[in-house]
Amino acid sequence: MPLSDCLTLARQVQLHERTAREVADEALDKAAGLNDEWRAFITITPELARRQAEQVDKRLAAGERLPLAGVPFGVKDLFDVVGVPTTAGSRMFAERKPGADATVVQRLTAAGAVPIGKLNLHECAFGFTGENEAYGNCKNPWDPERIAGGSSSGSAVAVVLGICPFTIGSDTGGSIRHPAALCGLTGLKPTYGRVSRAGGIPLSWTMDHVGPMARTAAEAAAVLQVIAGRDEADETSSERPVPDYAQALRSPLRGLKLGVPQNWFLDAVDPDVGAAVEKAIDELVRLGATRVKVTLPHMEEVVGAHRAVLFAEASAYYQPFLKVEERDNPKGRRFADDIRPLLEAGLFLPAVDYINAQRLRKQVRAAWGEVFSKIDCLATPTSPIVATRFGQQTAKLKDQDKPLVRAFLDMTLPFNYSGHPALSMPCGQSSAKLPIGLQLVGRPFDEGTILRAAHQYQLATDWHSRRPTRHAS
Amino acid sequence: MLQSTPDAVEQPIKAETLAAMSGQLLGGEPRDAKDFAAVAMLLTGLEQDMSAFHRVELGETEPAVVYSPTPAPRVPRAE
């Protein structure tokens, strides 16, 4: 049986109806029992979890109020937890033991949450399937023959399996939203600068984002409340005050201007996805939103610019590790054979491409700023297709075979490049009973609006509460 | 692999070219061309994905302030 949602659990622990230690033991049992089959975790941390849970119980006994009291969580194994290896899903970092917690982990534990382990991911967060040669393939609980999505694959699977109510992921091209969509969860990529990335292994410094994954927008909002805000350890983090997201959730949608794109996002989508997204937009309109047709310019150029930034920054970070491997082990087995070329490719891209991508970024922000001045948020599919089978390379869309990297990420990566906040929430199922995601994109630093729209939608529908048959109870 | 189908690119990137640069970029001796076959294929696919980006007119646009998702204050251009 899945653990309760994070808000209920926190209330129960705060009111001493259950102890944090009992909740942690239950989560640890589940994690241990399910991990061989699903590979959600790279490392499970029972001693750390029990120690933290006992601390939480003591703090509560001393009269503290903790917003996430005793709520177990997992963190993508890209973020540091003191004394536990941060592998980034790679053999290269298997021995890397950090001396301090990542800021996001510090803030969650300070709020009473209990870390139960480090979650599996696509190696180096550089991929979208969740396949991992070193630590095992993360399977989709809705169909174990299919990918969970990535790169935050374990972050999605641990929540779907009911091991913990929320997890932390990272998103550089869609790595929170994509697995959230494929696994039927709510996943939030906040605005660039809203959540500190300190203590995380980077992939692309100017496009990496950190955010929560959970069943509901209300839970994602509660986690964001704790992790958002300025951090001196991350110079990119914003000094803007953090609003009260729980308060923001309560407002009805009357008057909300909902942008519906007329280009790019609905050009080629699976019919099941197109129908579910259209129905979700209708539901948001029924709840009070006003549909506004919009066109986002520069989309194809943005895909290329995202590639230029991603590959250049990834190679800049990984070049020293590639050199170490070249020196110690020229045959290169610490990075997987399908990852090493990705890390090397940026070494051969012209510097002018990188600079021009940053120049285009300015034009894109200005042009999209015009669009967002007419709307409160934008609604799109998160992905034009549902979860694919392991090994599948292309998807047929509009009678054309499209490479999966284009199919899966073309709708999410533009908002890593622009920095806009975006979330994915479940909005339907395909004829094969696989989850479909709706992406909501907001104005910079206006996470409250997209969380509100998602929350109001989830009050009126039940897609977020559906579970795979094997794990339903 | 993060790549598109490279069929439409007329001038594929040569693994030999990359191998010749590899010693400088990765340290040690230059590697064999066969070690860069996957990178060459990837770069050829990237070229295709970046073709619209390469055609974009940027005029006198300066680079974005990287660490800000909102527009930076305008700095007056020198006359």
Flag if A326 and B28 touch (Cβ within 8 Å).
yes
Contact predicate A166/A220, CB 8 Å: yes
State the pLDDT at residue B69.
Answer: 46
Whether residue A273 has pLDDT greater than 60: yes
Contact list in A for residue B64 (CB cut-off 8 A) is: 358-359, 361-362, 365
Per-residue model confidence (pLDDT) at position A37: 97
Cis peptide before B22 (omega within 30 of 0): no
Q: Are A212 and A187 in contact (CB under 8 A)?
A: yes
Instruction: Report helix, strand or coil for B50.
Output: coil
Parallel, antiparallel, or unpaired for β A186-189 and A209-214? antiparallel
| Paired tokens of A438 | 């709706």
Using CB atoms, which residue from A341, A358, A363 is nearest to B42? A341
Q: What is the mean pLDDT of residues A339-359?
A: 96
Return the half-sphere exposure (C-beta side, CA atoms, 13 A cut-off) of residue A351.
1
In this structure, of A186-200, A295-309, A319-333, the range with the lowest mean pLDDT score is A319-333
Among A124, A306, A307, A363, the residue to mutate for chain B (most B Cβ within 10 A)? A307
Minimum-distance CB partner of B26 among A300, A304, A326: A326
Give residue A325's pLDDT.
84
What is the pLDDT confidence band of residue A329, given thresholds at 50, 70 and 90? Answer: confident
Radius of gyration of chain B (CA): 18
Residues contacting A179, CB < 8 A, separation 6+: A130, A148, A149, A150, A151, A152, A153, A155, A156, A157, A169, A185, A187, A213
Nearest chain A CA: its distance from B13 CA (Å): 10
A234-268 burial, b if ≥16 CB within 10 A, otherwise e? Answer: bebbbeeebeebbebbebebeebbbbbbeebbbeb
Is residue A97 annotated as part of the catalytic site, yes or no?
Answer: no
Mean pLDDT value across residues A9-20: 97
Rounded to the nearest integer, the mean pLDDT of chain A is: 96
Partners of A263 on chain B (C-beta within 8 Å) are none
Residues 11-50 (B) with a CB less than 8 A from some CB of A: 13, 18, 21, 25-28, 31, 36, 38-39, 42-43, 45-46, 49-50
Q: What is the pLDDT of residue A471?
A: 67
Can you give the pTM of this predicted structure?
0.94
Active site residue A175: yes
Q: Do A358 and B51 touch (CB under 8 A)?
A: no
Predicted confidence band of residue A327 (pLDDT cuts 50, 70, 90): confident
Pairing of strands A435-442, A422-429: antiparallel
Question: Which residue would you say has higher pLDDT here, B27 or A108?
Answer: A108
pLDDT, residue B32, reads 87
Six token digits for residue B33:
């061309």
Residue A222 is predicted with a pLDDT of: 98
pLDDT in tens, A138-197: 999 999 999 999 999 999 999 999 999 999 999 999 999 999 999 999 999 999 999 999
How large is the ipTM?
Answer: 0.91
Contact partners, residue A471, CB within 8 Å, separation at least 6: A2, A141, A160, A161, A162
- Please state, for a pLDDT cut of 90, what percent of chain A lies above it: 94
pLDDT score for B78: 45
Residues in chain B with pLDDT values less than 70: 1-12, 66-79
CA distance linking residue A47 with residue B11, whole number of Å: 57
B78 touches chain A (CB under 8 A): no
Structure tokens at B24: 């400088």
- Interface contacts A/B by beta carbons within 8 Å: 133
pLDDT of residue A7: 96
Are B63 and A420 inside 8 Å of each other by CB? no
CB contact under 8 A, A330 and B31: yes
Query: How far is the CA of A306 from the CAs of A356, A364, A440, B6, in angstroms?
Result: 11, 12, 20, 18
The answer, yes or no, to whether residue A120 has pLDDT greater than 60, is yes
Active-site residue (options: A90, A152, A175, A204) = A175
Q: Which of the four pLDDT bands, split at 50, 70 and 90, describes residue A330?
A: low
Between chains, do B53 and A348 touch, taking CB under 8 Å as contact? no
User: What's residue B49's pLDDT?
Assistant: 96
Q: Which of A307, A337, A355 sits opposite B46 (nearest CB)?
A: A307
Are residues A308 and B53, on separate chains, in Cβ contact within 8 Å? yes
Read off φ and ψ for residue B50, nearest 5 degrees. -100, 5
| A341: nearest CB among B28, B39, B54 | B39
Give the closest of A193, A341, A361 to B38, CB-based.
Answer: A341
Q: What pLDDT is stored for residue B12 in this prediction?
A: 66
Which string of b and e fits B40-63 if b means at least 16 CB within 10 Å? bbbbbbbbbbbebbeebeeeebee
Distance CA A255, CA A407 (A): 33
The chain B residue lying nearest A305, using CA atoms, is B53
Res. A112 pLDDT band, cuts 50 70 90: very high
Q: Determine whether the interchain pair B2/A303 forms a contact, defined as Cβ–Cβ distance below 8 Å.
A: no
Please report, rounded to a whole number, the percentage of residues in chain A having pLDDT higher than 70.
98
The token duo for A134 is: 């070193």
pLDDT of residue B58: 94
Q: Tell me the C-alpha distance between A194 and A228, whole Å.
A: 6
Q: Residue B39 and residue A308: Cβ atoms within 8 Å? A: no
Which amino acid type is present at position A219? E
Residue B24's Cβ-side half-sphere holds a number of Cα atoms within 13 Å equal to 7
Whether residue A32 is predicted with pLDDT greater than 70 in this model: the reply is: yes
Active site residue A151: yes
Does position A396 have pLDDT exceeding 80, yes or no? yes
Average of per-residue pLDDT across A407-433:
97
Task: Report chain A residues whose CB lies below 8 A from the CB of B38.
Answer: 337-338, 340-341
- Please check whether residue A203 is in contact with residue A124, taking contact to mean a CB–CB distance below 8 angstroms: yes
Of the ranges A356-360, A399-403, A408-412, A446-450, which one carries the lowest mean pLDDT score?
A: A399-403
Q: For residues A49-77, give the mean pLDDT.
A: 98
